[in-house]
Chains A and B, each alone.
Chain A
């Protein structure tokens, strides 16, 4: 048996004989099981609730009686964001962003610019998810199990006998690293099995799953190397423990908490009130379709009349009010889209900056990979918002088109007693409206979104390994 294997086995034997260590490992395994179970049931609950609400909303929309299409535009429609298949593993921003939207005419859903999104970056510390167990709890356990690996030998004076016994410094360090890596595997595997169960859901695909497994594997490998490195560099166990706890507190707790705040300060998002005021101002400037003197709509009217070769709107073969509604919706939507794009750009800038902090904290980089691959990062939320807006615009314009084609201008403008009845069109029209279905991102999109974070973790792993190599050389010279 090689010296490295012997040393790894002895290290594991030491951990086995340490009752505190064994208890800690068992507790962590228990924590993992609880995390997987709660995340799983919680997700099933959410998915089911959202699906049920969606069915109810669809039914309510279709159950509308015969009515004027514009009333349907204002009746609106609710849609619910379906959970991504990997959300139970890492819910990401889902709990902090709106996941239901009310769609209606003339306004883009306010949740696009909502205050609630201010917190989309602040995926708070401490939710009991399998991802959290792997990101924070497992490294902490590894620190407690591994801080003394080499420092103990240095401090107790057993390092020299080990070297004299013919064990090369590299085999000592690699042996300790292998033992710690094995423990990381043992405590990480149940979370990964839980992940596999979650990932076994319909709709999950191999690319993002593989990326998540690689990223978490690299992250735990990084911690194992870093712990061994610190243990090799310092002469006393206590110093190793303190240094490692400090590193953990800064990279796992502090920076992930501070980075979004800093990003939020540097790239502030407009709050709801500011946005509403700005939009109202812009709308006034865009024109008012009800004002006959409004220059934009005067031009629109002239264009329409010329196109149909008539001189009065009453002579048009279509309902002019429907055409106006279509034009008005197009104008306001362009405006709302502009604000949405600005908001998305600010979010993107914030998230880029947070990822930049990943250069200081691999945990941030890991979260990015994790959320992006699970489709629960802000990008995932934005995908939902964009699809919801496309659906809303399509729905509203279809209704406006119905108003233009199916309701006559004379009826639409009439105010006599029977007019209201004549303006209505059949309920079968609502039933024929398309239903909102969320198109999930392709696996390639998810993987691409996670690669940057993975690159950062890989960079860290390479750097830590190089430092460990140097520290090992120094150890051999002792």
Chain B
């Protein structure tokens, strides 16, 4: 995949099975967001294949998008609406009709303070908006969840809430792909971590045992790669 003559992804191969969380790690400009754009059908590969729930999002974007929840890098919501209104409007557009109680439950699970539920978004911080968006993604109940730097802007408590929510989503047999340059957050939630570099996955590790990842080793390796890149 390239933008003009600029090759961003080259020989990338990745599969995200249902009921698992895959983290894609890479430095700035490594092509993480571009990978998600491919999966959403916003850009098309020059060659190779992209499949979401059995269809090519470049050919049938509506089909793929209908089965995908996506949390963008920069969450854009409506300032003129309250948190609840944002959620019910966006969910109604995708054909969901959650009750107010369900929306409030999702907000609570995402760690959004109660006083913010019926407040307009114009006064919200980046983290608060992020929480609203996470709650919306959770309520979509779709088989695929794509997350672009979901924990940036979240405080430690909110990050913990988010991780818990993510596990609950995985239990629903959702395929989760999360791209980030935050090794720690990847380590906390992911079942597998892929390192993206020069447009391909240069290394892939899977969680094992109760310790899951050897953080120190990963940090040493990731730090090295980051320096080399």
- Give residues in A with beta carbon < 8 Å to B: 1, 3, 6-7, 10, 13-14, 17-18, 156-158, 160-168, 478
Contact = CB atoms under 8 A, between A and B. Distances in A.
Interface string B63-75: 0011010101010
Interface in B58-85: 62, 65-66, 68, 70, 72, 74, 76-78, 80-81
Nearest to A18: B80
A157 B74 contact: yes
B62 A166 contact: yes
Contact of A17 (B42, B74, B80): B80
A6 B76 contact: no
Contact of A158 (B70, B78, B94): B78
A5 to B, nearest CB: 10
A198 B91 CA distance: 48
Contact of B95 (A158, A164, A166, A478): A166
Contacts of B65: 163-164, 166
Given A6-B89, A10-B89, A165-B90, 14 more contacts: A7-B93, A10-B81, A13-B81, A14-B80, A18-B80, A158-B78, A160-B72, A161-B70, A163-B65, A164-B65, A164-B68, A166-B62, A166-B95, A167-B93
B80 A13 contact: yes
A160 B93 contact: no
17 contacts: A10-B78, A13-B80, A157-B72, A158-B77, A161-B76, A161-B77, A161-B90, A162-B93, A164-B40, A164-B65, A164-B70, A165-B90, A165-B91, A165-B94, A166-B62, A166-B66, A166-B95
A337 B91 CA distance: 75
B92 A6 contact: yes
Given A165-B94, A166-B66, A166-B95, A160 B80 contact: no
A156 B68 CA distance: 22
B173 to A, nearest CB: 21
A3 B93 contact: yes
Size band of the interface chain B makes with A: 20 to 34
A158 B40 CA distance: 16
A59 B74 CA distance: 84
A162 B77 CA distance: 10
A158 to B, nearest CB: 4
Nearest to A159: B76
Contacts of A14: 80
Nearest to A476: B61
Nearest to B67: A166
Contacts of B95: 166
B62 A168 contact: yes
Nearest to A15: B80
Contacts of B91: 165
Q: Taking each of B68, B74, B92, which has the highest tally of chain A beta carbons within 10 Å of its own beta carbon?
A: B92
Which 9 pairs of residues, A with B, have the shortest CB-CB distance?
A157-B76, A165-B93, A166-B94, A158-B76, A165-B94, A167-B93, A14-B80, A6-B92, A165-B90
A1 B72 contact: no
A63 B74 CA distance: 90
B15 to A, nearest CB: 22
A157 B68 CA distance: 18
Contacts of A7: 93
Given A13-B80, A166-B62, A166-B65, A161 B72 contact: yes
Nearest to A7: B93
A158 B132 CA distance: 14
B90 A1 contact: no
B134 to A, nearest CB: 13
Contact of B76 (A3, A13, A160, A167): A160
Interface string B41-66: 01000000000000000000010011
B188 to A, nearest CB: 26
Contacts of B92: 1, 6
Contact of B93 (A6, A17, A18, A156): A6
Contacts of A17: 80
A326 B76 CA distance: 87
A50 B119 CA distance: 63
B69 to A, nearest CB: 8
A150 to B, nearest CB: 14
A3 B78 CA distance: 16
A18 B80 CA distance: 9
Q: Taking each of A3, A10, A17, A164, which has the highest tally of chain B beta carbons within 10 Å of its own beta carbon?
A: A164
A1 B96 CA distance: 10
A163 B66 CA distance: 10
B96 to A, nearest CB: 9
B118 to A, nearest CB: 14
Contacts of A6: 89, 92-93
A13 B89 CA distance: 11
Interface in B150-171: none
A36 B78 CA distance: 39
A108 B81 CA distance: 71
Contacts of A165: 90-91, 93-94
Nearest to A1: B92
A159 to B, nearest CB: 8
Nearest to B69: A164
Nearest to A17: B80
Contacts of A158: 76-78
Nearest to B120: A17
B119 to A, nearest CB: 14
Contacts of A161: 70, 72, 76-77, 90
Contacts of B94: 165-166
Nearest to B64: A164
A225 B147 CA distance: 37
A166 B80 contact: no
B76 to A, nearest CB: 4
Contacts of B76: 156-158, 160-161
Interface in B93-140: 93-95
A478 B37 CA distance: 11
A405 to B, nearest CB: 86
Nearest to B88: A6
B50 to A, nearest CB: 16
Contacts of B93: 3, 6-7, 162, 165-167
A245 B171 CA distance: 54
A166 B90 CA distance: 9
Q: Taking each of A6, A17, A165, A478, which has the highest tally of chain B beta carbons within 10 Å of its own beta carbon?
A: A165
